[in-house]
Structure 1
Amino acid sequence: MKIGLYLGGGGPSPQVLIDQVRSAARRGLDSAFISQLTSWDALTVGALAAAAVPGIELGTAVVQTYPRHPLALAGQALTVQAVATSGFTLGIGPSHPQFIEGQFGYRYDRPARHIREYLSALLPLLRGEAVDVHGETVTAVGRLDVPAATPPSVLLSALGPVMLQIAGELTDGAVTVWPGPQTVGDHIVPAITRAAAAAGRPAPRVVSGVIVCVAADPDRARAEVAAQVGFASDLPAYRAILDRQGLAGVHETVVAGTAEVVERALRRYADAGATELIVSLIGAPQEQVRTLDVVAALRSAG
């Protein structure tokens, strides 16, 4: 199982994010995935990091589709791919109505249909092909003038049955957040694998995001997550996956404890069929350093 670092996309400067990518590469991690929030642009940071830190795969987890037209996103993604000598993965997702409607002012209308239409334009554009898509939610006409375009790997943010079906049928796999190992093994992996097989596609990537902290006080670590991102527990897609697991909030998915506890918990994701982990670090600076060391040692052990 590959292991990478998940970066929240915020911070005082893009250079801080690039330094975190460099730290992950120095410790032998496979990848660094950058989130697209309301701070630094994930794709721009990815391109800068790819140029500054060769030898580590870069990715997004995830870029919202509604605010970025497929022609625009394809051009950005191919730009990153062109400078990312160790590979680039484009993780996309429809996000949530609270953000798409509340912040951007777009209608969060029929997200599954939107994603199908979006991918029907995006994927050919990434291959250097012309598109002529006139859907209910997406219109895209034209092509990109990018010589010898090499398409990046594309992942879809997917948790529910419909999105997992689309991910397996059309993309290289899924990137997830909040499912624990049992849910990855019982729900995520079987659903996307069936969809990929039915579509005649290779076995899909299953990239599991997990918040990790090697800490003497695991409850404090979970309380930190509850305070920072507890609101995510009320987003419909996340609420559904939490309910499936019988969990009250996203803080209950945090992997925290001694180094041994953390290592055992992370190995369970591999046993469940996750092909890759991307770990998000929390806690005091010294705890994050210690956590990164433990994660790197686990990666080295294979």
Structure 2
Amino acid sequence: MTVGVTLSATGTGNQIDATVRLAEEAAAAGLRSAWFGQTFGADSPQLAAIVGREVPDLQVGTSAIPVFGRHPLIVSSQAQTAQAATHGRYHLGLALGTKHLTEAGFGIPFERPIARLREFLTALRQLTETGTADFHGELLTAGTPVSARVPGAEGGVPLLVAAMGPQALRASGELADGILPYLAGPKALAEHIVPAVTAAAEAAGRPAPRIVALVSGVVTDDVDAVRAKVTESLAFYEQIPSYARVIELSGGTRASDVAVIGDEEAIAAEVRRYRDAGATEVVFSGTDIAGEEARRRTWALLGELAAGSAG
């Protein structure tokens, strides 16, 4: 099982330079992968490509690009370019996104998300694996009057989906290489998420899917104060039905209930619980919420766990 972190450089300086410095620190700590979110700011595939070139010890990935407001041809170009730049170390994560951000940001209706996801994955797989596409769906069309191949990315790009609901898990098992569930605790993983996506992959004749569990967590001795901060920072997700459902399936009522907060022993035990629940990879997010000292302490532990998993 590999262990990684999400990287989000904040402040008034150059975000790209700051992110590279964080990635260098993550690699030095022994972490195996760095992942980048996608909202309306920095382009995550470009950021991953830059970091992957500058820090060759890290796998890099996007978690995750919403399928609304994008087109498979454009995302394929981004992903293949990142894959060539990193010599095969890039992983593309996709997401349904949310109704609010889709409609407020792009001015398009958030309709038929699962159908759109299926069509997007089908066209994107053709493009990333062959450099060509001839796809005509109900919602999307993707054709290649000229080649869409990027030399250096011939091995394709791993496609992962931030899937947690039954329909999204079924589509991901059939059409993607794995999933990127967030705020899904070990109970939800073991009892609902892993069985659903694995069964779909088996039925489609695909290999066992990767389960990249994104976990909000930090090493600290001041558990109550940090949990209060996490409760505030994650409250947004409680208003999104898919997240509210998976939090409940995990045994929680607030998003912070599934956050992993405690000393080294407690965090290591929780990582083992994710592994036992079926996670093939664990990626920690929000490790900077308690300050730099706690972040470095968290990364040091995660690096040790990554080294232990390789042994």
Match of 1:50 in 2: 52
Letter of the 2:113 counterpart: P
Shift of 1:228: 2.0
Does residue 1:144 correspond to 2:145, yes or no? Answer: no
Does residue 1:23 correspond to 2:25, yes or no? Answer: yes
SS in 1 for 2:242: helix
Match of 1:210 in 2: 215
Distance 1:11 1:238, change over 3 A: farther
SS in 2 for 1:101: helix
Match of 2:273 in 1: 268
Does residue 1:278 correspond to 2:297, yes or no? Answer: no
1:102 paired residue among 101, 104, 125 = 104
Between stretches 99-108 and 69-78, larger displacement belongs to 99-108
Cα contact 1:9–1:39 (8 A) shared by 2: no
Alignment partners' CA distance in 2, 1:131 and 1:107: 26
Between stretches 238-247 and 107-116, larger displacement belongs to 238-247
Shift of 1:21: 1.4
Letter of the 1:169 counterpart: E
Alignment partners' CA distance in 2, 1:114 and 1:160: 15
TM norm structure 1: 0.96
TM norm structure 2: 0.93
Letter of the 2:104 counterpart: G
Alignment partners' CA distance in 2, 1:84 and 1:279: 22
Alignment partners' CA distance in 1, 2:156 and 2:220: 40
Alignment partners' CA distance in 2, 1:181 and 1:232: 18
Cα contact 2:131–2:150 (8 A) shared by 1: no
Shift of 1:11: 4.9
Cα contact 1:11–1:17 (8 A) shared by 2: no
Distance 1:265 1:246, change over 3 A: closer
Shift of 1:223: 1.5
Q: How many residues are aligned here?
A: 302
Shift of 1:260: 0.7
Alignment partners' CA distance in 2, 1:96 and 1:11: 26
Deviation string 1:168-223 (CA, Å, 9 cap, x unpaired) is 11111100100111111111111111111111111110000001111112122221
Distance 1:262 1:41, change over 3 A: same
Letter of the 1:147 counterpart: P
Letter of the 1:2 counterpart: T
Letter of the 2:306 counterpart: R
Between stretches 132-141 and 164-173, larger displacement belongs to 132-141
SS in 1 for 2:180: strand
Alignment partners' CA distance in 1, 2:10 and 2:291: 17
Letter of the 2:76 counterpart: A
Cα contact 2:27–2:58 (8 A) shared by 1: yes
Between stretches 3-12 and 95-104, larger displacement belongs to 3-12
Letter of the 1:286 counterpart: E
1:297 paired residue among 285, 301, 304 = 304
Shift of 1:86: 5.3
Deviation string 1:89-142 (CA, Å, 9 cap, x unpaired) is 000111111111122212111110000111111110101342222222212221
Letter of the 1:111 counterpart: P
Distance 1:205 1:145, change over 3 A: closer
Does residue 1:84 correspond to 2:91, yes or no? Answer: no
Q: Unaligned 5+ residue runs, structure 1?
A: none
Match of 1:3 in 2: 3
Match of 1:169 in 2: 174
Cα contact 2:118–2:171 (8 A) shared by 1: yes
Between stretches 11-20 and 253-262, larger displacement belongs to 11-20
Does residue 1:59 correspond to 2:61, yes or no? Answer: yes
Please tell me the root mean square deviation across aligned C-alpha atoms, in Å.
1.5
**Percent of residue pairs identical:** 34
Alignment partners' CA distance in 1, 2:298 and 2:131: 44
SS in 2 for 1:102: helix
Cα contact 2:9–2:22 (8 A) shared by 1: no
Distance 1:8 1:163, change over 3 A: farther
Distance 1:129 1:145, change over 3 A: closer
Cα contact 2:201–2:209 (8 A) shared by 1: yes
Alignment partners' CA distance in 1, 2:10 and 2:189: 28
Deviation string 1:31-55 (CA, Å, 9 cap, x unpaired) is 1111112321111111111111112
Alignment partners' CA distance in 1, 2:279 and 2:139: 32
Cα contact 1:56–1:86 (8 A) shared by 2: no
Alignment partners' CA distance in 2, 1:246 and 1:296: 28
Between stretches 169-178 and 21-30, larger displacement belongs to 21-30
Match of 1:123 in 2: 125
Alignment partners' CA distance in 2, 1:245 and 1:279: 17
